[in-house]
Each structure stands twice: as C-alpha cells, then as structure tokens.
Amino acid sequence: MSPKRVLLAALALLGIGILLAGGVGWWAVEHYTGKVDRIPGAFPTHVPPAEQPAPSKGGQTFLLVGVDSRSDLPTTGRDAKAPTWTYGAQRSDTMMLVHLPADHSGAYVVSLPRDSWVDVPGHGKAKLNAAFSWGGPPLLIDTVQRLTDVRVDHLAIIDWEGFKQLTDTVGGVDLRVDGTVRHMNGEQALVYVRERKNLPRGDLDRTHRQQNFLRAVLTKAMTTRNLTNPVRTAELLDDLTASVSVDDRLSDGDLRELLWDNKSVRPGDMVFMNAPVAGTDTVKGQSVVLLDAKESGTLWAAMRNDTMAAYVAAHRTDRLGSGTR
C-alpha cells in the first residue's frame, strides 16, 4: 500500500481542555488523561548541557508531530499495533511548535515545513523530516531545539489512522476549496492536507491546509451537538485519547493541569503561522525550503521570552487567514 501522510491532531492535547468548557466533569478528565499512551525515551539523552536550550521565560512549548508510518496498523495511541518509530520507515510530515503562554490567553501554532534544509546532528544538512526517520523522537527534538534554541517541553505524535477517525468522530468538517465549501470525511480530509504539487506555494500552502483543517476540527468539536451530548462527548474523548501518544515526562497530573489551565482557549484565540522562509532551492536534486535565519531568530526569541502576542502584533507573518489554501 502506498505511504499515507497525516495531519497532527493538536486537539488531542487542547481539545479535551476545550471540552471542559462544555460541561465535561473533572472525573471524566481524570479518567481520559489516564488512558493517554506514553512514549518512553522521547528526549535526547546524549546532548551536553551546554548545547541544550535554556528553559523559556514563561509558558510551555510542545512539539506536535504527524507521522507517515508506512504501516497498515496504528502506531500511536493505546490501540497501537506497530512501533511508533522504526529506522527509515517513518517521516514526520507535519511538525508544529505550539506555544501556550503563561497567561493562558491562547495558543501560537508555528508550522515547520517538512522540507526545511537544516543541520541534523550526526548527519549534516538534510530535510527536517529526515530527523525522525533516522533517529525517532530524540533526534527530531534535538534537531528542532538546535534550530530554534527553544526548549521543547513536551512531545505529542499521532498516526494517520487517528487522524481519519478524529475527523469522522466530529461528523466531518467543512473546508473551502477553490471558492467552494466542501464537507469532508476523514478520508477526504486526508487527501486535502496531503496535497502539495498543485498548490501555488507547495509545502507552505500545504502547512496552511493542515492548520486550516486543525482549526476546522477544533471549531466543530465545540459545537453544541458535541458539547451537550454525553454520548457524543464520550466518543470524541475516546478517540482523542486512543489515537495520540505523548512523552512519558508528561504525567497524568501534568496533563490535567495543562487542560484545566487552557480550558477557556477557543479556536479564535489560536494564531496559526508558518516559520519565516527566505525561499526555496534545489540541493542534490532535492526541492528544499530555506528558512529565513534573521526573521526566524526573532520569532524563536519571542517564543523563548513568552512574548508571542507582541511579536505577532509587530511583525508581518505568513499567518493563516479566514479562508483556505
């Protein structure tokens, strides 16, 4: 079967907190957070302290990853039937840094194009998504931390089976394509977020499609139908917790605190953008994305300093608008 690429369901971490605002009892949060699968050894252990980024001055930053497992079986979540990572078998097609500010006012989602040409420790220059293929979560985290100098506090990974199921659980989503609103189920949405070659800006428009879909799912999850129907809510929470895997440093208590602190966050409070890009190039026959070192440096400094709101207000960004790509 051909490889299937996925969208990272960031709502697996944020969505449960959003559902709390709809009246889900704390007992349910305790129940469901205890069912989230953990990834052992997700963080690099052989990086000298001097080469580790300092903790951010406020808030938390998550690395959210969607993987192309090349497997017919789910590789993440409690229903996983195959390894989360096998050398050379998976590439992280979706990578987002999500910063949750200390004041719990929203969330800032920054997509890192998978074709970003970066230094991968021990491998030299390569596309960013190769880091996961070569070294799994530890090498990807190490690569992203060296690229941004932002401390990754936690990791979440989801495979394509979870992506499709989440979409169907919320009843599908409405997305505007070429000026027409189309209702999509999980399989159709998978095609939507995988599209790249026929988009004007290639991977950059593809990341906006991923973000647009994520926003649509979050919005759909918050509808009255989902929030006030106990059966519907339980089904959604079952799918969320069954399909996502997080690092084993994120305890049940940490996850509950995270969800509680961000329970009032709404899709309208989330800012979606791409990392600043200088252009594209062809290197050794590969089409690559060149990140803008200066502009990206300013963005990463704002993330480290927990000043993302000021950054967004003062800088032009490749930000997701109200429409779609």
Residue 198: band (very low, low, confident or very high) from pLDDT cuts 50, 70, 90: confident
Q: Are 123 and 50 in contact (CB under 8 A)?
A: no
Kindly tell me if the per-residue pLDDT of 230 is higher than 70: no
Q: What DSSP designation does 48 have?
A: -
C-alpha 75/C-alpha 83 separation (Å) is 6
**Per-residue pLDDT tens for 51-103?**
999 999 999 999 998 875 544 444 444 454 444 445 444 556 789 999 999 99
Give the pLDDT score at 299: 98
Of the chain, the percentage scoring pLDDT greater than 70 comes to 75
CA distance 58 to 70: 38
For residue 45, name the pLDDT band (cuts at 50, 70, 90).
Answer: very high
Q: What whole-number distance in Å separates Cα of residue 262 and Cα of residue 102?
A: 10
CB atoms within 10 A of CB 282: 8
Coil, helix or strand at residue 179: coil
The H-or-E segment that residue 177 falls in is strand 173-177
The predicted pLDDT at position 31 comes to 66
Q: What is the per-residue pLDDT across 103-125, written as a single tens digit (0 to 9) for each?
A: 999 899 999 999 999 999 999 99
**How confident is the model over 174-197, as pLDDT tens digits?**
988 877 889 999 899 888 887 877
Whole-angstrom Cα distance, residue 169 to residue 35?
18
Q: What is the model's pLDDT at position 157?
A: 86
Q: Is 163 strand, coil or helix?
A: helix
Cα 268 from Cα 120, distance rounded (Å): 35
Which is more confident, 186 or 303? 303
**Higher-confidence residue: 40 or 261?**
40
pLDDT (average), residues 137-160:
92
